[in-house]
Amino acid sequence: MLEQQKLPNLIVSTYALREEAAIQELIEYLGSVYVMWKQRSLLLVKTKLDPYEAVRKIKENIDPNFTNILRVIPIDALTPPYVDKVAEKVLELIDKIKPDETFRITLDGRLYRVTEGVLKRLHSREAIDEIAKNVNRKVNLEHPDKVIYIKTLKFRGEDYASITICRPDEIISTQKMVKGKA
């Protein structure tokens, strides 16, 4: 069982071999961070702040033209990368989407299903349909009020799916900021 308080609360992507510079920027913006996992172009970070407050502080201070940080994604939960576990966790977090709000699911990576002891890698569409079928909200793929963002990743040598349910502007993309789209 995963203890959420002992898990990272931010995913930070950066340029390859610029991870240390990205960490220094995070320290500048947030005061202190604990890097829980580092791999090429990706950091899993724990901050003392609420992840959404951390994103807000970074967004207020970052210069998207001169940064090593590409994206910052708050994490609401981590779960094993099985579609049933992800769907279950999304339902636990569903109150983050009000009944009158619209949503979109974005899946970055692959989810799996175990059927009769056989592990099957699902196509993205199949996984999204499985997760969405129990979300009793309207879908809007172009301009959703909330995004259910699922990213598969490695953490301490294990595969996980991170789950984030947020407004689209609560995920930082410095490339979109430069283009004026965020």
Together in a domain, 39 and 95: no
Together in a domain, 162 and 133: yes
Together in a domain, 67 and 103: no
Number of domains in the chain: 2
Q: What residue numbers bound the domain in which 161 lies?
A: 77-168
Together in a domain, 62 and 104: no
Together in a domain, 88 and 133: yes
Copy the structure tokens of residue 7.
């898990």
Query: Mean pLDDT for each consecutive 10-residue tract of the chain (182 residues)?
Result: 76 97 97 94 96 97 96 97 98 98 98 94 97 96 98 93 98 93 71
Together in a domain, 156 and 104: yes
Report pTM: 0.93
Together in a domain, 83 and 164: yes
Together in a domain, 53 and 86: no
Together in a domain, 15 and 27: yes
pLDDT of residue 145: 98
pLDDT of residue 3: 65
Together in a domain, 92 and 29: no
- pLDDT tens-place string over residues 95-126: 999 999 999 999 999 999 999 999 999 999 99
Q: What is Dmax (Cα atoms) for the chain?
A: 51
Together in a domain, 64 and 100: no
